[in-house]
């Protein structure tokens, strides 16, 4: 006994108008896929470029400072007259000095060891 569905399983030729629409859809899909892949390559290239051009995340260490051979590093850090050092902290090539000034107020001085200069003074006040 022959099955009537066998006739339906065989592909029938498509109408020429539908074939045109199918061709357009395939072309549209291929163009969009190509644009998507191109955009992905651009994003990956941008990430690689940024990662190669990124500055070093860590500041230079105090041990990286150029010191003449055999001589210890020596420099005067000038604070205002009458200032007393309360504490100090070293971070990389910068030292911060917490000082009590002659008038009783406090300030933090930031000194760059590599550049050998005072780079900041911050007064500590109550509001």
**Residues spanned by the domain of 28:** 14-53
Instruction: For residues 45 and 82, state if they share a domain.
Output: no
The reported pLDDT for the residue numbered 107 is: 95
Residue 45 placed within a domain: yes
Of 64 and 121, the structure prediction assigns the larger pLDDT to: 121
Residue 106 placed within a domain: yes
Cβ neighbour number for residue 73 with a 10 Å cutoff: 11
Is the separation of the CB atoms in 59 and 92 below 8 Å?
Answer: yes
At 24 the three-state DSSP class reads helix
The whole-chain average pLDDT of the chain stands at 84
Instruction: For residues 82 and 120, state if they share a domain.
Output: yes
Residue 39 placed within a domain: yes
Q: How many domains does the chain contain in total?
A: 2
Is the separation of the CB atoms in 110 and 77 below 8 Å?
Answer: no
The answer, yes or no, to whether residue 115 has pLDDT greater than 70, is yes
**What span, in angstroms and rounded, lies between the C-alpha atoms of 117 and 35?**
54
Residue 7 placed within a domain: no
């Amino acid at each position: 006994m022959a099955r009537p569905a066998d006739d339906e399983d065989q592909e029938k030729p498509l109408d020429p108008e539908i074939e045109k629409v199918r061709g357009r859809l395939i072309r549209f899909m291929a163009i969009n896929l190509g644009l998507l892949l191109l955009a992905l390559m651009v994003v990956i290239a941008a990430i690689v470029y940024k990662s190669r051009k990124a500055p070093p995340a860590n500041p230079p260490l105090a041990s990286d400072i150029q010191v003449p051979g055999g001589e210890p590093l020596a420099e005067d850090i000038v604070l205002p007259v009458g200032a007393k050092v309360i504490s100090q902290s070293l971070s990389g090539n910068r030292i911060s000095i917490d000082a009590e000034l002659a008038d009783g107020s406090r300030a933090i001085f930031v000194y760059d060891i590599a550049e050998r200069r005072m780079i900041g003074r911050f007064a500590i006040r109550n509001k």
